[in-house]
């Protein structure tokens, strides 16, 4: 009898301790001269939430995350920011999934400096924009401020394959928050990135300069501009005659 009671108690404890998973999100941030941001929502374990989201696009749609991020940055007086929507298939009824993509840029999010001596660009990428709250339905809200409370300096460095290429990425996963919810995020660096370091929520790395950088720094460009100006002045004089 005691064994039966003990077994029942263990089953009850196990049932309580295994929290239901509402859904999962994987965010990918591909770093270039702007940030290519992708959010993948998987609701296979809770299609009820998915159905409610699709039924109420006025609450959550393909632009909701991007616009929420822009409003939050504006409240922080971070106005050197740009964004644009990337058209993709928002919902997939068969997979019970949602996909959102957009670009983010601007000096308050991503900036770089040129070093002509070492022929490198030094990038500074901030991730504070990832900390926001958003409603998916009237009763279900996501708190990315909690999910990504861990500073980027404590994220893992992993290899991540995208587009057939292996990139180094900063990775973090979380089940934080009031509702059981699995969230993972990858900040994916260029394949040419070197001297990678993190300071708080800022990622810093170097890449080689590109052709445009070298042309801007070249005296030949200045000389070419002078020659073009002289030619234009001579042509103007001939036309005036």
Domain shared by 58 and 177, yes or no: yes
End-to-end CA distance of the chain: 115
35: β partners: 31, 104
Domain shared by 200 and 216, yes or no: no
In a domain, 194, yes or no: yes
29: β partners: 37, 187
Which of 88, 86, 91, 92 lies closest to 66, judged by CA?
86
What is the total count of domains within the chain? 2
Q: Taking a C-beta distance cutoff of 8 angstroms, is the pair 68, 74 a contact?
A: no
Domain shared by 158 and 219, yes or no: no
Domain shared by 91 and 144, yes or no: yes
User: Range of 78's domain?
Assistant: 19-209
Domain shared by 159 and 236, yes or no: no
DSSP 138: S
Per-residue pLDDT tens digits of the chain, which is 241 residues long: 444 444 443 343 333 334 455 678 999 999 999 999 999 999 998 889 999 999 999 999 999 999 999 999 999 999 999 999 999 999 999 999 999 999 999 999 999 999 888 889 999 999 999 999 999 999 888 999 988 889 999 999 999 998 888 999 999 988 654 456 789 999 999 999 999 999 999 999 999 986 554 444 545 445 445 566 566 566 656 666 5
Q: Taking a C-beta distance cutoff of 8 angstroms, is the pair 121, 42 a contact?
A: no
Q: How many CB atoms lie within 10 A of CB 152?
A: 21
In a domain, 27, yes or no: yes
pTM score over 0.75:
yes
Domain shared by 88 and 25, yes or no: yes
In a domain, 197, yes or no: yes
């Amino acid at each position: 009898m005691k064994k039966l009671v003990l077994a029942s108690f263990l089953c009850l404890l196990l049932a309580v301790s295994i929290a239901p998973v509402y859904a999962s999100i994987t965010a990918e941030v591909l770093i270039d001269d702007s940030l290519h941001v992708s959010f993948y929502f998987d609701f296979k374990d809770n299609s009820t939430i998915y159905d409610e989201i699709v039924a109420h696009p006025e609450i959550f749609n393909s632009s909701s995350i991007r616009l929420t991020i822009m409003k939050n940055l504006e409240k922080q007086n971070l106005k050197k920011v740009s964004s644009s929507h990337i058209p993709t298939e928002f919902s997939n009824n068969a997979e019970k999934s949602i996909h959102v993509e957009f670009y983010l840029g601007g000096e308050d999010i991503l900036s770089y400096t040129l070093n002509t001596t070492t022929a490198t660009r030094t990038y500074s990428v901030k991730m504070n924009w990832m900390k926001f709250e958003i409603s998916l339905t009237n009763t279900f809200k996501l708190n990315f401020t909690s999910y990504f409370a861990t500073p980027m300096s404590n994220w893992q460095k992993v290899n991540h394959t995208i587009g057939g290429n292996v990139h180094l990425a900063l990775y973090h996963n979380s089940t934080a928050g009031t509702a059981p919810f699995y969230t993972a995020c990858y900040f994916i660096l260029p394949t040419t990135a070197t001297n990678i370091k993190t300071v708080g929520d800022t990622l810093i790395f170097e890449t080689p300069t590109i052709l445009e950088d070298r042309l801007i720094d070249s005296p030949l460009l200045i000389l070419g501009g002078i020659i073009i100006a002289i030619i234009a002045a001579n042509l103007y004089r001939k036309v005036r005659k």
